Amino acid sequence: MNPKWRHFLLRRLTRLVVVLAGLVIATFALIHVVPGDPARAIAGAQADQNAVERAREELGLNDPAYVQFGDYLSGLVRLDFGDSFETDEPVTKVISRSIGPTAELAAFGMAIILFVGIPLGLLGGALSQEGNRKFELGFSGLTGIMAALPDYLTATVLALVFAVSLQWLPVAGAATLSAAILPAIAIAVRPMAMVSRLVRIRTLDVLEQDYIRSARSKRLSPRALYGRHVAPNALAAALSVAGIAFAALVGGAVIVEQVFARPGLGTELVQGLLVKNYPVVQGIILTLGAAIVIVNAIVDATLALVDPRTLEGEL
């Protein structure tokens, strides 16, 4: 293997381990300092004291924090995330049944970002380049608004219009692929707008380059010009923020899954936080953290394939 690639992979692997270790410590510490008694939350507000004490004992909450942390770490080494306080299910089972709806949402969302955001940005750059000031203002304004829309608001409006009024798509659930369309649009709108703005600026920049003027002087068709010269450079710019966009998608999924009643990781995470279901919260945050780091590594690798110059700094 090329030494630069070897070094690249080693660095990304190290980064993954460091991030996960940080997440393990941070989530354990944070969830334990947040006020509230998980035993009371799990036993129920109307439970008598006997039931609460029993819950506390069964959940190991009477043990000192360092003992609880030690137990948790030793479980992690065996890939055992513990059992849900609420349902007694292994956390790995909770994650495996919830990850599908979230992954589906993230995949659709990324597809929208890449296959709508990038062409939109390219088009925006091409039309702006011809000195169309009104278009430029309109594009910036519209994408600016889209980038500022809260996910919850977008989700609610999409549901009311396309699911309730027009009845084109399901209101809620994850039973069919079509049920992922509206929530995917809801979480993708903001990052898609940001990517298209970035691509437009990069496109304008590329169009100013000498080699583009040379290409034009050779009377290359617009398709060849944009396809062979402009798009790959703009793509690199889009890929550079794809990792951040993915993280934004994951954050949006947590909220949007509530609106569309999707039984994904976001729904489980919110419920886990509300009742202080430590094992579930820790397990899901680790999973999402690992996913973000891995996706960023894939993005970096793709960038390196598209533009090998990015590997220059690896040795």
Contact in structure between 266 and 253 (CB atoms under 8 Å): yes
CA angle (173, 176, 182) in 5-degree steps: 65
Q: How far is the CB of 198 from another protein (least distance, A)?
A: 34
Position among 3, 36, 150, 232 found at the interface with another protein (CB under 8 A): 36
Position among 33, 49, 130, 223 found at the interface with another protein (CB under 8 A): 49
Residue 217 lies near another protein (rule: CB under 8 A): no
Residue with tokens 């994951």: 250
Q: How far apart are CA 57 and CA 80, in angstroms?
A: 20
**For another protein, the closer CB: 164 or 315:** 164
Q: Which of 249, 269, 239 is nearest to 104 (CA)?
A: 249
Distances (CA, A) of 68 to 29, 34, 93, 151, 192: 11, 16, 21, 36, 42
Residue 103 lies near another protein (rule: CB under 8 A): no
Residue 177 lies near another protein (rule: CB under 8 A): no
Q: Which of 190, 192, 191 is nearest to 150 (CA)?
A: 190
Position among 81, 226, 246, 260 found at the interface with another protein (CB under 8 A): 260
Position among 167, 177, 210, 315 found at the interface with another protein (CB under 8 A): 167
Residue 296 lies near another protein (rule: CB under 8 A): no
**For another protein, the closer CB: 125 or 170:** 170
Distances (CA, A) of 196 to 14, 20, 174, 222, 250: 32, 31, 29, 20, 19
CA 43 to chain centre: 33
Position among 68, 140, 258, 302 found at the interface with another protein (CB under 8 A): 258
Position among 27, 233, 267, 287 found at the interface with another protein (CB under 8 A): 267
Distances (CA, A) of 213 to 156, 200, 233: 47, 18, 15
Residues 139 to 158: which contact another protein by CB under 8 A? 156
Residue 256 lies near another protein (rule: CB under 8 A): no
Contact in structure between 124 and 203 (CB atoms under 8 Å): yes
Residue 47 lies near another protein (rule: CB under 8 A): yes
Stretch that binds another protein, among 88-96, 134-142, 200-208, 227-235 (CB under 8 A): 88-96
Position among 4, 58, 220, 307 found at the interface with another protein (CB under 8 A): 58
Residue 104 lies near another protein (rule: CB under 8 A): no
Contact in structure between 20 and 290 (CB atoms under 8 Å): yes
Binding site for another protein (CB under 8 A): 35-37, 40-51, 54-55, 58, 86-89, 94, 97-98, 156, 159-160, 163-164, 167, 170-175, 258-261, 263, 267-268, 271, 274-275
